[in-house]
Amino acid sequence: MKSLKHGEHIVGMDIGGTKMMACVFDHKFKVVGRCKKKSTSGKDEKPEDRISRIIQEAIEDAGGAKISGIGVGVPGPTDPVAGIIMDTPNLGWKKFPLADVLTKKFDVPAVIDNDVNLGTYGEWRFGKVKDCKHVIGIFPGTGIGGGIIVNGALYHGISGAAGEVGHMTIQVDGPYCGCGKRGCLEGMASRLAIAADIAALAARGDAPYILKNCGTDLANIRSSAIAKAIDAGEKMVEGVVRKAAFYTGIATANLVNIFSPEAIVLGGGLVEAMESLYMEEVTRALKIHTMPFPLKFVKVVPAKLGDDAVVMGAAHLIVERL
């Protein structure tokens, strides 16, 4: 594992569809400066200008620390070698050379990678699976993302888009997914899919806690509210979440059969809100659907870095490249 010299600083950044966050890290990977803002300003600011401004403010928050490099996690597929974002509908970018733009602006090396890949990388380097060579991260939240680490390196595939575990087909004629196909894990087990089922329960009077506190608008049925409804004893809400968590476990079992990893890291908003339920259902599905031999070698662990996983993974990636 490469490391920084005493006194050196680097920036890790997470560009999300709704929020952007940059952190300045010292040589021990401690956060010494941070800036978090909405992804769009409402004004005519270009995304690349906003990204530069957020990095600049994080550097100022770190007392104007001199930085040696920048790592960035972006939503959507990337060409990590060329530092190009291939396609991000949210930010309106196609084949955008973000790494070059940041290198010119800050006069330091910059690297980019997919945000969920870097979340997995962060959990691998700084979480509970440091000693493992083969790790798969699965992050069920509003969507379902994943990252694959094989032989101690992120696996990108020829297109750069490997690791899209959310678009694994789980049910051939299942519901439509955001990608336009039917029966993907994400279409059946993401927070949006769960919220749609729970909204129907609320509308017909079977989930009074949800109806009172969230209404039936899917955007308002958040992971934390779902967890509280389950704590309040809403059995049908719990049934909906258990089914989604079990589907997540089936996808996990397929991945274990193919990759035989040492560890699966489970994170994302749904897991953070309902960790024990997710661990139970994923473990149950693994026992049913994994071949016995690879099952002996794999452990399932909850993610521990929360919102900082991507910035930490991004920071570590740039250190590897310096």
Q: How far is the CB of 310 from Zn ion (least distance, A)?
A: 21
Chain centroid to CA 184: 17
**Binding status of residue 192 toward Zn ion by CB under 5 A:** no
**Smaller CB separation from Zn ion, 24 or 184:** 184
Q: How far is the CB of 193 from Zn ion (least distance, A)?
A: 11
**Binding status of residue 179 toward Zn ion by CB under 5 A:** yes
3-state secondary structure of 32: strand
Chain centroid to CA 254: 20
**Smaller CB separation from Zn ion, 55 or 177:** 177
Sign of the torsion angle spanned by Cα atoms 232, 235, 236, 237: positive
C-alpha dist (Å) from residue 154 to 29, 120, 274: 20, 9, 28
CA-CA distance, 287 to 265, in Å (whole number)? 17
- Region of 160 (left: φ > 0; alpha: ψ -120 to 50; beta: rest) is left
What single-letter amino acid sits at 127?
G
What x/- string results for residues 111 through 150 when contact with Zn ion is judged by CB under 5 A?
----------------------------------------
**Smaller CB separation from Zn ion, 181 or 287:** 181
Residue 60 has which token pair? 């100022």
**Smaller CB separation from Zn ion, 72 or 177:** 177
Looking at 21, 177, 195, 202, which residue binds Zn ion (CB under 5 A)? Answer: 177
Looking at 9, 125, 156, 167, which residue binds Zn ion (CB under 5 A)? Answer: 167
**Smaller CB separation from Zn ion, 50 or 167:** 167
What single-letter amino acid sits at 297?
F
Cβ neighbours of residue 46 closer than 8 Å, sequence gap 6 or more: none
Q: How far is the CB of 177 from Zn ion (least distance, A)?
A: 3
Looking at 11, 91, 184, 225, which residue binds Zn ion (CB under 5 A)? Answer: 184
Site residues, Zn ion (CB under 5 A): 167, 177, 179, 181, 184
